[in-house]
């Protein structure tokens, strides 16, 4: 088995415990996996932003003042330079299989944070234009790692890439989402990157207006 990122061949150690029950093959080598930086320490309790003190950040205070309805966001990784390289190849150059690098950690983080309680998983959609450009929806790829029921309840109007906008411009954006399947149960939105929270707040707002009682978010990285 070769590492999905560096292509280094992985030769598993053979010990007595693996003779009769072969261990699961890893898709990432130990050297590459050690480059992951996990979110921990002092975080904003609402959006998982790294803070000097564990208190609500300025962005979340603004959302609160503006009536934001997203209850909280939980992210798995810090958006370090190594992660930026992986995301760029996976998301912008269409290398779908790289989601396997994160799968084990996605499952572990999600199950530790969101105990089974009947919430519906809703991935953040791409516009039709962006979907055609990339070939897949990265948020849906993350959601599918969880092996839980998924509802694609939202559609999205095409707009300029979030990565091309300044932080201020993102905060001023208008809501691009429409609800195509109203959900009357709690929802957990899934996306790849949380930056200002604007995308997830808009999605939560759209769902709430159509009767959703509660919306939380789970994202791969915290920008």
Kindly list the domain boundaries of the chain, sorted by start residue: 1-34, 37-222
Q: Is the dihedral of CA 185, 188, 191, 193 positive or negative?
A: positive
pLDDT at position 177: 97
Cβ atoms of 124 and 191 closer than 8 Å: yes
Based on the number of CB atoms within 10 Å of its own CB, is 95 exposed (0-12), middle (13-18) or buried (19 or more)?
A: middle
**Which residue numbers in the chain have pLDDT < 50?**
none
pLDDT at position 95: 86
List the CATH code of the domain at 37-222: 3.40.50
Nearest CA to 91 out of 217, 223, 196, 203 is that of 223
For 88-136, the pLDDT digits (tens) are 999 888 889 999 999 999 999 999 999 877 899 999 999 999 999 889 9
Residues 6+ apart with CB under 8 A from 81: none
pLDDT at position 103: 96
Separation CA 174–CA 99 (nearest Å): 30
Q: What is the pTM of this model?
A: 0.88
C-alpha dist (Å) from residue 120 to 63, 155, 171, 185? 23, 16, 27, 7
Cβ atoms of 201 and 69 closer than 8 Å: yes
Residue 117 neighbours by CB distance under 10 Å? 8
Residue 104 neighbours by CB distance under 10 Å? 15
Q: How many helices (H) and strands (E) does the chain have?
A: 9, 6
């Amino acid at each position: 088995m070769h590492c999905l990122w560096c292509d280094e061949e992985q030769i598993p150690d053979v010990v007595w415990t693996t003779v009769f029950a072969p261990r699961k093959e890893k898709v990432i080598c130990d050297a590459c996996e050690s480059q992951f930086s996990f979110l921990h320490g002092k975080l904003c309790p609402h959006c998982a932003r790294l803070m000097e003190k564990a208190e609500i950040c300025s962005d979340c205070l603004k959302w609160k003042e503006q009536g934001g309805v997203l209850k909280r966001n939980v992210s798995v990784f810090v958006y370090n330079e190594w992660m930026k390289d992986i995301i760029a190849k996976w998301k912008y150059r269409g290398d779908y299989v790289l989601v396997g690098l994160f799968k084990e950690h996605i499952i572990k983080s999600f199950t530790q944070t969101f105990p089974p309680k009947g919430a519906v998983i809703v991935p953040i959609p791409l516009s039709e234009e962006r979907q055609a450009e990339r070939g897949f929806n990265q948020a849906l790829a993350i959601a599918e790692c969880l092996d839980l029921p998924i509802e694609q309840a939202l559609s999205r109007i095409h707009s300029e890439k979030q990565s091309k906008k300044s932080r201020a411009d993102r905060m001023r954006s208008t809501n691009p989402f429409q609800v195509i399947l109203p959900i009357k149960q709690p929802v957990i939105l899934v996306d790849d990157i949380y930056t200002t929270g604007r995308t997830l707040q808009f999605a939560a707002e759209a769902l709430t207006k159509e009767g959703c009682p509660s919306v939380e978010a789970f994202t791969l990285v915290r920008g």
